[in-house]
Every structure is written in structure tokens, then in C-alpha cells.
Amino acid sequence: MIEKIQKTEEQWQAELDELEYKVLRQAGTERPFTGKYYEHSEKGTYNCRACGHALFKSEHKYHSGCGWPSFWGELETADIKHKMDRSHGMTRIELLCPACDSHLGHIFNDGPKPKGLRYCINSVCLDFEADEK
């Protein structure tokens, strides 16, 4: 079972910078092709920037060309939440961290095999922990 993190919006604002807060707590997005993990290829684990919950392994990452880091699957223990998002005149599935309910990005059905999924994640929502060598 994933331990839920409870914080006030004031606490989140004090812990996150302006862009992190806008994206993670207000479901914003970073500009495409600008995120530090867009072309990142080091081996390791991508965690939620807000709370540290492990989300993706580098083996799940691929280059989709969409402008944001893309993953074809999540860690079995990630348990990322899905929520219907009808903002901006579109219908999409929003992805939320199961531990802190922070916005991560969206999921689409245009990814590679074996699952055909593309987890489109904002770099600002992620922290990276390199594998030990």
C-alpha cells in the first residue's frame, strides 16, 4: 500500500519552485523540447519530483519526438493514477502520482510495443536517481 502524503498548498508552494508548482500542483505543462530529461539517457529510476515516489525505469523510456520525456510503461509498484481530463477542448487521461496526487502528464495509445502506450511526462515532475555502477 502506498503511503499518502498530505500537505497544504502553502507547504507545496514553499517546497517547489514556480514552474514545479504550476505543473505538479496546478496541472500545467512545461514548454516542449525544454525539459532536462527530454533527451536524457542515463540508466536509473525516475521519481516524482514532489514526493520521491518511484515511477519509471530508464528501460521504459524512449524517444517519441513529442517534446516531453516518453515512457512505454511504469514500474509495477508505481501504481500511477489515471483521471479523465477534458481541459483545453480535448479529452485525455491525466496521470497523477499515487502518493501525493501531483500532476505528471498524460497517457496516450500511440506508443511502441509491447504495450502501445506513451506516458508523456513533464521533466519538471521528475527527479532522477542513477543506478549504482
State yes or no: cis peptide before 114, omega within 30 of 0: yes
Task: Please tell me which residue in 48, 97, 120, 125 is annotated as part of the active site.
Answer: 120
Q: Quick check: 69 and 118 in contact, CB under 8 A?
A: no
* 120 a catalytic residue: yes
Which residues belong to the active site? Answer: 120
